Amino acid sequence: MGIIDNLSLGFGVAFAPLNLGFAFIGVMVGTLIGVLPGLGPLTTMAMLLPVTYYLPPESSLIMLAGIYYGAQYGGSTTAILVNIPGESSSAVTCVDGYQMARQGRAGSALAVAALGSFFAGTVGTLLIALFAEPLSKIGLMFAPPDYFSLMVLGLIGAMVLAHGSLLKAFGMVCLGLLLGLVGTDLNSGAQRYAFGIPELGDGLDFVPIAMGIFGLSEIIANLGRQGDQRAVVSQKVRNLWPTREDFDRSWPAVLRGTGIGSVLGLLPGGGALLSSFAAYSVEKRISRTPEEFGKGAIEGVAGPEAANNAGAQTSFIPMLTLGIPSNVIMAMMIGAMMIQGITPGPQVMSERPALFWGMIVSMWLGNLMLVIINLPLIGMWIKLLNVPYRILFPVIIVICGIGVYSVQNSTFDVVLTAALGLLGYVLIRLGCEPAPLALGFVLGPLMEENLRRSMLFSRGDPAIFLTSPISAGLLALSAALLMTFLLPNFRKQREVVFRE
């Protein structure tokens, strides 16, 4: 099938009434949690994972994807109007977006953010459509040693690009790998790390891990933070269209941000957050008037907003084509696929073309929905910004508890989620980023499977990882990435970037 036939199939799936409805629900929920500081796409997707048990695969993945890129839109609204990033990737938008709002230019800032995000999302979706099939064909050529080495590269990339020290990130990956080993060994039938608890015999489910480590822990952490008082810009938002001058200054930044986000979204550990900060840094450095940044420069809104949406879209490429998550959100998507009984990897395109292309087309459709519904609903979002977090968190906890219990009707899962929530909070307090843990948990069983297959093929000879050209190249790239991190200049610049 050619790309035209594939896209036609995708449009048929995406425009099915059920899928259209869940795409709308996804982008609306994503915008809502992007607007409300203290929540985020990760927490919300963790809460809604149990729902995917009862939905068709296409509908569940379309909804979860809509939540992810919808949050990029909603986060910019909060950043511009309240100077609080509703979503982490919108943090840099606060710098100039809020200053524009204070100057009475909130309408222009919101419009540029929405239009730039739509353009970047469209380009990102087009890139997925163009490169998905070639990458899937390459993925089908991978042998077990190649897949193992690719996953090693992904975990090393996640460690290097994670916040904090490399040692802490390494510890989180190891903890995730250990959690992935809990359960019954399929080769020997022996139980590992079950400690005589029957419920652990089948291993840890992804839902309690996601909801505990990322959902409950974030709620506990937010309760301990000050700053529930939010100063919403008092001027009425009007003129929801950029002026000619704003448009002339913003469109080159949108193009550059789209390019930066499209590339960085592919990297392990990359995605929307890294893309937005990189785009802002580039705009400030090449600007003829860098002194305007921090005082309401339109480029400081246009570039990062385009970059974070492009990065959010292209981060789907390695997940859809190779089955390798580039960040923790994509790990969540892989978890949703496994819940549906779908093995992630390049075979998804050939075995489930309706799912694959329907999801791609729904991304473009969802971005169009976001532009249409976001700007007219600015007034409603402003009112929601005044909802205190102390009212939200009991509702969220109840939803989490009901969701976890409904998966297997197990009180053990609820208790496990609560315990993992406390563990996640301790990790946050220790300065350990949980994202590498999730990647280790998702990739651990896949790495073990491919490691065992490789050793069976080679009769126990580990040289198979070096004799395969693809595997050797990936391991060399992993070693180069680690060596680069050890360079003093790189470590110093990394610390500066994360501190800023």
Distance of alpha carbon 195 from alpha carbon 314, whole angstroms: 41
Structure tokens at 345: 């990897």
Distance of alpha carbon 311 from alpha carbon 65, whole angstroms: 13
| Contacts of 291 by beta carbon, 8 Å cutoff, 6+ apart | none
CA-CA-CA-CA torsion sign (46, 273, 293, 252): negative
Residue 397 burial by CB count (10 A; 0-12/13-18/19+): exposed, middle or buried? middle
- Residue 492 has a pLDDT of 63
Distance of alpha carbon 475 from alpha carbon 486, whole angstroms: 17
Q: Which amino acid is at 240?
A: L
| Cα–Cα–Cα angle for 52, 209, 139, rounded to 5 degrees | 70
- Residue 176 has a pLDDT of 87
Distance of alpha carbon 39 from alpha carbon 191, whole angstroms: 37
Average confidence (pLDDT) per 10 residues, the chain, 500 residues? 78 90 88 70 74 84 84 75 66 79 80 85 84 77 85 79 74 88 79 82 79 76 60 57 80 89 73 74 82 82 86 82 77 80 79 86 86 73 67 74 76 87 86 79 83 88 88 88 72 56
CA-CA-CA-CA torsion sign (256, 259, 265, 269): negative
Distance of alpha carbon 354 from alpha carbon 391, whole angstroms: 41
Q: Which amino acid is at 190?
A: A
Q: Which amino acid is at 48?
A: L
- Residue 40 has a pLDDT of 65
Comparing CA positions, the residue from 278, 268, 273, 272 lying closest to residue 327 is 268
Q: Which DSSP category does 200 fall into?
A: G
Distance of alpha carbon 285 from alpha carbon 291, whole angstroms: 11
Distance of alpha carbon 77 from alpha carbon 88, whole angstroms: 13
Distance of alpha carbon 346 from alpha carbon 151, whole angstroms: 14
Three-class SS state of 246? helix
Contact between 156 and 268 under an 8 Å Cβ cutoff? The reply is: yes
**How far from chain centre, in Å, is Cα 178?**
23
Distance of alpha carbon 178 from alpha carbon 162, whole angstroms: 19
Kindly state the helix (H) or strand (E) to which residue 9 belongs, with its residue range.
Answer: helix 3-14
Facing residues of 39 across strands?
37
Structure tokens at 272: 């929307």
- Residue 446 has a pLDDT of 81
Contact between 107 and 239 under an 8 Å Cβ cutoff? The reply is: yes
- Residue 331 has a pLDDT of 79
Three-class SS state of 38? coil
Facing residues of 184 across strands?
191
Kindly state the helix (H) or strand (E) to which residue 408 belongs, with its residue range.
Answer: helix 389-408
Contact between 475 and 466 under an 8 Å Cβ cutoff? The reply is: yes
Task: Count the alpha carbons within 13 Å of 107 in the hemisphere toward its beta carbon.
Answer: 11
- Residue 35 has a pLDDT of 73
Comparing CA positions, the residue from 17, 290, 6, 236 lying closest to residue 110 is 236
- Residue 313 has a pLDDT of 82
Q: Which amino acid is at 138?
A: I
- Residue 273 has a pLDDT of 66
Q: Which DSSP category does 236 fall into?
A: P
- This prediction's pTM: 0.72
CA-CA-CA-CA torsion sign (71, 88, 311, 115): positive
- Residue 442 has a pLDDT of 78
- Residue 382 has a pLDDT of 67
| Contacts of 408 by beta carbon, 8 Å cutoff, 6+ apart | 205
Contact between 362 and 62 under an 8 Å Cβ cutoff? The reply is: yes
Q: Which amino acid is at 41?
A: P
